[in-house]
Amino acid sequence: MIIHTVKPGQTVTMIAREYGVPVSRIITDNFLEDPGRLTVGEDLVISFPSVTYNVQGGDTLSEIADKYGVTINSLYRNNPTLNGLPAVFPGQILTVVGEEPVFQTPVSINGYVYPFVDRTILRRTLPYLTYLSIFTYGIRNDGSLISPSGSDEELVGITGEYGTVPLLMLTSLTDEGKFSNELVSRILNDTELGDIVIENIVEILESRSYGGIDVDFEYIGAEGKSSYVDFLRRLSERLDGRFLLFVSLAPKVSPDQPGILYEGHDYEAIGKIADRTLVMTYEWGYTFGPPNAVSPKPEVKRVLDYAVSAISNDKILSGIPNYGYDWPLPYERGITKAETLTNSEAVKLASDKRAEILYDEVKEAPFYNYYDRPTSFDDAVEHVVWFENARSCDALLRLIPEYGLSGAGIWNVMNYFPALWLTANSLFNIQKKE
């Protein structure tokens, strides 16, 4: 795999000729909606398959997989335009075997999803995922659980088709649709209520064929630190090894880091209890904050430096964002609000605004500036956009082997970003339950 950054005047044909690959492969691999309109600074992933196959009349995907000794999931990963479905047609060129992964040690990838996800995007993404956390179950005052909006049972069923393990995600979401720190405090400090919650968790795990639970309790505060550990310990004992226990952790850089977001998460104690921990290494750039990369590499490394000192590295998943932000300038604290956009939307916006995409070599993240002119030049508002591209995904994913981590957690997989999955597929053997 090569990551090519588009230069002024370049076309897909010119780039294909430079690397000796078919134009069609660049277009399909990168899901280029308008191949004749590239953006300066845009990243394109150039792949070099080891084995391809020209589909013949009467072929089925399973027969092709058997013929070459590969899995159906690997065919889906190598051919994302299949959309995770087995239908093929004569004359279709399939990548049967891609390039040898850069790193041989298998890694796990978890994705986070809402039940209303577009099913085509879901099926296209699941072949790359070891786990899928379905956002989210909430909690009532009596300890009963609130089901996610939409059908999580359908998602669990689809997830199982791809050898991906579905995880029940638990947060402090209430019937009113808000996250409640007060509710979490009650659950953690009232052992009887906490045990009711635990029993309800186990009942749903068993009845809906989940493979485990992903607990995400945030803003606990120092006063809830020990009681949270105790709750997780009781939950783990009740799961009794039949189900996985994942715990999401705030991005700490030291054990005594001040702040309500950090103080309630005891990395060392939780790391001993959980099967996996997701370190939420994103949101340095955020909706109401000053413009910044969402996951600047130096900050991510500071968090991982501490994480591996407190938790066994084979229990850690590093968070990777699948989105960006668009800030109007100048930034005014408490007033400026950034708009969220997908990485693909960020590239399209750059193209629409004729902005050159730049790359911060320190933060390992792409960005650009543009002017929005509602009525005239006098009304022009400058904007800055930070997002992710192939190079930034590659930089963040390579931290997994650098730190010996279990893998990555992607927030979120509601949209399909080709560069992320092309890069992950070229770097790693992704673990699957096959």
- Taken in order of first residue, the domains within the chain and their CATH numbers are 2-97 (3.10.350.10), 108-326+387-427 (3.20.20.80)
Tens digit of each residue's pLDDT (9 = 90 or more) over 148-197: 977 799 999 999 999 999 999 999 999 998 999 999 999 999 999 999 99
Tens digit of each residue's pLDDT (9 = 90 or more) over 108-156: 999 999 999 999 999 999 999 999 999 999 999 999 999 997 779 999 9
Q: What is the mean pLDDT of residues 395-410?
A: 98
Q: Residue 414 pLDDT more than 80?
A: yes
**Whether 222 contacts 264, CB under 8 Å:** yes
Rama region for 130: left / alpha / beta (φ>0; ψ in -120 to 50; rest): alpha
Best CA proximity match to 368, nearest among 346, 390, 352, 389:
346
Number of C-beta neighbours around residue 301 at 10 A: 16
Identified catalytic residue from 18, 153, 218, 223: 218
**pLDDT computed for residue 379 by the predictor:** 79
Per-residue pLDDT band for 27 (boundaries 50, 70, 90) equals very high
**pLDDT computed for residue 434 by the predictor:** 56
**pLDDT computed for residue 375 by the predictor:** 64
Alpha-carbon span 201 to 86, nearest angstrom: 35
Alpha-carbon span 293 to 284, nearest angstrom: 7
**pLDDT computed for residue 433 by the predictor:** 82
Enumerate residues 6+ apart whose C-beta is below 8 A from 341.
Answer: 323, 324, 325, 326, 349, 385, 387
**pLDDT computed for residue 173 by the predictor:** 93
Tens digit of each residue's pLDDT (9 = 90 or more) over 259-305: 999 999 999 999 999 999 999 999 999 999 999 999 999 999 999 99
388 is catalytic: no
Q: What is the mean pLDDT of residues 345-367?
A: 97
Phi and psi angles of residue 246, each rounded to the nearest 5 degrees, phi first: -105, 145
CA terminus-to-terminus distance, the chain? 26
Per this entry, what is the length of the chain? Answer: 434
**pLDDT computed for residue 410 by the predictor:** 98
The chain-wide mean pLDDT, for the chain, equals 96
Q: Residue 90 pLDDT more than 90?
A: yes
**Whether 23 contacts 328, CB under 8 Å:** no
Alpha-carbon span 328 to 147, nearest angstrom: 37
Alpha-carbon span 198 to 181, nearest angstrom: 18
Q: What is the mean pLDDT of residues 230-244?
A: 98
Q: Residue 362 pLDDT more than 90?
A: yes
Phi and psi angles of residue 431, each rounded to the nearest 5 degrees, phi first: -65, 135
Percent residues over pLDDT 70 in the chain: 99
**pLDDT computed for residue 374 by the predictor:** 67
Looking at 251-389, list the stretches that DSSP marks H as alpha helix, in order from N- to C-terminal side. 260-263, 267-273, 297-310, 343-352
Phi and psi angles of residue 358, each rounded to the nearest 5 degrees, phi first: -105, 170
Q: Residue 74 pLDDT more than 60?
A: yes
**pLDDT computed for residue 171 by the predictor:** 97
- The first and second tokens of residue 402, run together, are 């650098």
Q: pTM here?
A: 0.97
**pLDDT computed for residue 376 by the predictor:** 64
